């Protein structure tokens, strides 16, 4: 889990739009708890672009198009 990664010295990022719960209040509470433990709560779009680095990455254009086409 993200907290396990933090405990092992890694910094974890959790995209809030890539997690689910049967109750929206439970999701919000879990994300707040993760953030209070130092986990970065982010978005899938941000995570994808952070991993790509910049537009020189060979995968930037196709993934950029996929991200733009996501509902939201």
Q: Which residue has the tokens 């010295």?
A: 9
pLDDT at 38: 95
In this prediction, residue 72 carries a pLDDT of 66
**Structure confidence at residue 54 (pLDDT):** 87
Q: What is the pLDDT along the chain (72 residues), one digit of tens a residue?
A: 899 999 999 999 999 999 999 999 999 999 999 999 999 999 988 998 898 998 899 999 898 888 888 776
Q: Report the run of H or E that residue 72 belongs to, with start and end.
A: none
Q: For residue 68, what pLDDT is reported?
A: 82
Other beta carbons less than 10 A from residue 39's beta carbon? 19
Neighbour count for residue 51 (Cβ, 10 Å): 11
Sole residue written with tokens 């993934």: 63
């Amino acid at each position: 889990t993200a907290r396990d990664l933090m405990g092992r010295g890694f910094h974890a990022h959790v995209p809030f739009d890539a997690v689910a719960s049967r109750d929206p209040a439970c999701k919000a509470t879990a994300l707040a708890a993760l953030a209070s433990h130092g986990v970065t709560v982010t978005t899938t779009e941000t995570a994808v672009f952070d991993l790509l680095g910049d537009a020189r990455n060979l995968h930037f254009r196709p993934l950029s198009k996929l991200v733009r086409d996501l509902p939201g």
